[in-house]
């Protein structure tokens, strides 16, 4: 047999390497399996069948594929770990950014609170709020007056309603007067004032911003001063007055609800302002919320009454949801937000929806939701809620 150079065992080439080279280069060398068997016999004296070398190459190819697969898997694993590391890195960066934002927002609100208190003291010097000792009630009845959806700052002028800052102040006077009238009629001892949110118009929608006559900071200042003056007036008429407050959706800092954080709300300024402005009135208490900043829980004549704005609750589900959530059974749940008069009992719990003080604006008109401007006062005794007065404005 004529043997050409590539077929021969190379210098420093082991027998195993020689065998691997022959079987892996069989086609390029122009060899048959019988040729490889003969070459192996010539070099080693070992007689091997054609099938032996065919199976040997098959194992080599299989092992090579397996090694390639393992390398590929290791590469994929390394790549996955790099991606996971990058994800964790971005998570940490996001957390740090959010943490810095929280600190910045807290600092901003703390600074704003300090500035408001300073401004309140300055206003108090220029425009002191007068207070007189009220006449003591002979009975033990209590009342809840609902303040909600004033939307101060918005201007409406349509067939169904007219509203502007001047009309706002006229309606507030009527609200205070009627609250005193109905409270005196029932010889109310303690008056609970629920601020259920959306006291300002805010910057929630583009249509609202167009209709606003004042920026939101000015809105909050005017409304906070108005509430302070109303509470002072009520404190002169009733033996004990308690003021509670929750956030709405129009008073949030961010217009986009998906970007908004519950704790970022201009509504928080109202109780700060009121507390500083009325601190000299001994029978007026500004009550902090115990469970949540968006939930009022009050003891009224020995009964639990809950107050929420309503933008996170459905009237048909709020009784069940809040009783389970708070693990308590109220006699009444008061809501705003819906801008119309509505009351219904659910398994012994009265769900009471307060109308809006601002009345029908252009947005409500366009979606065909017309309502009368009004607020409510509820009278309670030891048996529970005995009546509701709708104060038309």
Window from 45-49, 64-68, 184-188, 228-232 with minimum mean pLDDT: 64-68
Are 302 and 282 a contacting pair, CB within 8 Å? no
DSSP string, 79-146: HHHHHHHHHHHHHHHHHHHHHHHHHHHHHHHHHHHHHHHHHHHHHHHHSPPP--PPPPPSS-EEEEEE
Categorize the per-residue pLDDT at 91 as very low, low, confident or very high, splitting at 50, 70 and 90: confident
Per-residue pLDDT averaged across 336-350, rounded? 93
Report the pLDDT averaged over residues 103-130.
74
Please state, in angstroms and rounded to a whole number, the distance separating the CA atoms of residues 201 and 155.
10
* DSSP character at residue 312: T
For the cut 60, the answer to whether the pLDDT of residue 211 exceeds it is no
Which H or E run includes 306? strand 303-308
Q: Please give the share of the chain, as a percent, with pLDDT higher than 90.
A: 45
Pairing of strands 374-381, 384-392: antiparallel
**Residue 222: pLDDT above 80?**
yes
- The alpha carbon torsion through 334, 339, 342, 347 (nearest 10 deg) reads -40
Contacts of 15 (CB under 8 A, 6+ apart): 9, 43, 44
Q: What is the pLDDT of residue 214?
A: 54
- Of the pLDDT bands very low, low, confident and very high (cuts 50, 70, 90), residue 232 is very high
CA distance 197 to 216: 14
Task: Using the predicted structure, report yes or no on whether residue 56 has a pLDDT greater than 60.
Answer: yes
Q: Which of 82-91, 203-212, 306-315, 345-354 has the lowest mean pLDDT?
A: 203-212
CA 230 vs CA 48, 141, 326: distances in Å: 110, 21, 31
Among residues 47, 63, 59, the alpha carbon closest in space to that of 23 is found at 59
Asked whether residue 4 carries a pLDDT value surpassing 60, the answer given is: no
Round to whole Å and give the CA distance between 154 and 151: 6
What is the model's pLDDT at position 294? 92
State yes or no: pLDDT of 104 exceeds 60. Answer: yes
Report, in angstroms and rounded to the nearest whole number, the Rg of the chain calculated over CA atoms.
Answer: 40
Tell me which residue has tokens 């700052």: 153
Residue 190 scores a pLDDT above 60: yes
Alpha carbon 295 to chain centroid distance?
Answer: 14
**pLDDT number for residue 19:** 78
Using the predicted structure, report yes or no on whether residue 85 has a pLDDT greater than 80.
Answer: no
**Residue linked to tokens 């027998």:** 15
Q: Is pLDDT at 30 greater than 60 in this prediction? A: yes
Q: How confident is the model at residue 210 (pLDDT cuts 50, 70, 90)?
A: very low
- pLDDT for 82 equals 74
**Any idea what DSSP says for residue 10?**
P
Tokens of 16: 């195993």
Interior/surface letters 219-238, b for 16+ CB within 10 angstroms, e for the rest = bbbbbbbbbbbbbbbbbbbb
pLDDT at 213 over 70: no
**In this prediction, what percent of the chain has a pLDDT beyond 70?**
83
Domains of the chain, first to last: 132-392 (3.60.21.10)
Q: Which residue has the higher pLDDT, 115 or 159?
A: 159
> For the residues 142-164, what does the mean pLDDT come to?
93
Q: Classify the C-alpha dihedral 207-208-214-218 as positive or negative.
A: negative
Handedness of CA 53, 56, 61, 62 (dihedral sign): positive
- Whether 149 and 354 have beta carbons less than 8 Å apart is answered as yes
pLDDT above 50 for 206: no
Dihedrals phi, psi of 164, to nearest 5 degrees: -160, 175
- pTM, 2 dp: 0.70
* Whole-number average pLDDT of the chain: 83
pLDDT band for 208, please (50, 70, 90 cuts): very low
β-bridge mates for residue 246, sequence order: none
Pair type for strands 240-245 and 284-286 = parallel
Neighbours of 361 (CB within 10 A): 24
162 pLDDT above the threshold of 50: yes
Per residue in 351-393, pLDDT tens? 999 999 998 877 677 778 788 999 999 999 999 999 999 999 9
């Amino acid at each position: 047999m004529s043997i050409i150079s590539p077929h021969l065992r190379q210098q420093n080439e082991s027998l195993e390497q020689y065998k691997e080279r022959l079987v892996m280069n069989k086609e390029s060398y122009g060899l048959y399996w019988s040729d490889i068997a003969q070459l192996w016999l010539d070099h080693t004296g070992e007689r091997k069948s054609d099938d032996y070398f065919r199976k040997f190459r098959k194992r080599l190819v299989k092992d090579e594929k397996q090694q390639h697969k393992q390398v590929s898997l290791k590469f994929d694993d390394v790549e996955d770990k790099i991606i996971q590391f990058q994800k964790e890195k971005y998570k940490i960066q996001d957390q740090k950014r959010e943490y810095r934002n929280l600190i910045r927002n807290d600092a901003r609100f703390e600074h704003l609170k300090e500035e408001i208190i300073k401004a309140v003291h300055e206003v108090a010097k220029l425009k002191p709020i007068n207070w007189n000792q009220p006449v003591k009630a002979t009975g033990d009845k209590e009342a809840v007056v609902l303040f909600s959806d004033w939307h101060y700052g918005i201007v409406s002028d349509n067939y169904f309603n007219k509203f502007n800052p001047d009309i706002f102040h006229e309606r507030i006077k009527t609200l205070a007067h009627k609250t005193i009238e109905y409270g005196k009629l029932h010889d109310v001892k303690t008056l609970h004032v629920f601020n259920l949110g959306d006291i300002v118009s805010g910057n929630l929608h583009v249509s609202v911003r167009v209709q606003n006559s004042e920026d939101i900071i000015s809105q909050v200042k005017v409304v906070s001063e108005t509430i302070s003056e109303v509470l002072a007036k009520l404190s002169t008429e009733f033996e004990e007055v308690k003021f509670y407050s929750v956030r709405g959706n129009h008073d949030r800092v961010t217009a986009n609800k998906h970007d908004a954080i519950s704790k970022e709300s201009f509504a928080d300024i109202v109780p700060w302002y009121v507390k500083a402005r009325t601190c000299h009135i001994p029978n007026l208490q500004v009550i902090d919320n115990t469970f949540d900043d968006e939930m009022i829980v009050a003891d009224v004549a020995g009964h639990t009454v809950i107050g929420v704005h309503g933008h996170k609750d459905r009237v048909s589900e709020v009784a069940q949801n809040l009783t389970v959530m708070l693990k308590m059974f109220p006699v009444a749940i008061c809501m705003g937000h819906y801008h119309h008069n509505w009351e219904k009992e659910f398994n012994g719990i009265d769900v009471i929806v307060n109308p809006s003080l601002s009345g029908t604006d252009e947005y409500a008109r366009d979606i065909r939701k017309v309502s009368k401007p009004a607020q409510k006062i509820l009278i309670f005794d030891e048996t529970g809620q005995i009546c509701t007065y709708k104060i038309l404005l």
